Amino acid sequence: MQIKENRFLTSSPDITKCPPPDKPEYAFIGRSNVGKSSLINMLVRKKKLAKISSTPGKTQLINHFIINENWYLVDLPGYGYAKVSKTKRQAWGKLINDYILNRKNLMSLFLLIDSRLPPQKNDLSFIDFLGSSSIPFIILFTKTDKIKPKQVDLNLNNYKEHLKQTWEVVPTFIASSVVNKTGRKEILDFISETNKLWKK
């Protein structure tokens, strides 16, 4: 699939303010700083469509981008950022839960996981939540340029083995790096195939 047009649409403080659910939608979610906004920029080949920062907690709203006038990409705030207050973390939980559980046109989530780390508690419990809520998702294994390819494979297999303990079918993984521009085609192919399942 080619991306011919892409533009920022809206930032919404909650699901009631989001654009009408009239097109297939894909949302990026994961820990703060894992690379959600960067990956959106890589997909559309723009440096600054989504705002990036080396300080965690940059994205705080539900940001909609419209692609080819035909489907939505959504940049969400990250979870697990230790430096925010408990009140803010709870607000995040409510915002995300509402969005994930109620957004009618959400075709799939992209859950981003840092390829360098062993399985982290908050990612695993988020995966369990998605599973028990029957929310479709695939996992993007990010920042693979920061470690050796062999280590990426080891970490990937380790993650899959870990999930096998609770999952009958292990979720799909795509390895990505915005530095090496890897994973782009796989992600766009997935979206293109999934768009075919869209029914109004």
Summarize as ranges the residues that interact with Mg ion (CB under 5 A).
36-37, 58-59
Q: How far apart are CA 23 and CA 15, in angstroms?
A: 15
CA separation (Å) from 157 to 160, 163, 193?
5, 10, 26
Helix (H) or strand (E) holding 102: helix 86-102
Q: Report the residue from 65, 66, 78, 141 that binds ligand GTP according to the rule CB under 6 A.
A: 78
CB 112 within 8 A of CB 34: yes
Of ligand GTP, Mg ion, none, which one sits near residue 108, judging by CB under 5 to 8 A according to partner kind?
none
Q: How far apart are CA 13 and CA 17, in angstroms?
A: 7
Q: Is 36 in the site for ligand GTP (CB under 6 A)?
A: yes
Shortest separation between residue 166's beta carbon and Mg ion, angstroms:
28
Residues 166-195 that bind ligand GTP (CB under 6 A): 177-179
Q: Report the residue from 25, 27, 29, 58 that binds ligand GTP according to the rule CB under 6 A.
A: 58
Q: Which residues are near ligand GTP by CB under 6 A? A: 32-38, 52-54, 56-59, 77-78, 142-143, 145-146, 177-179
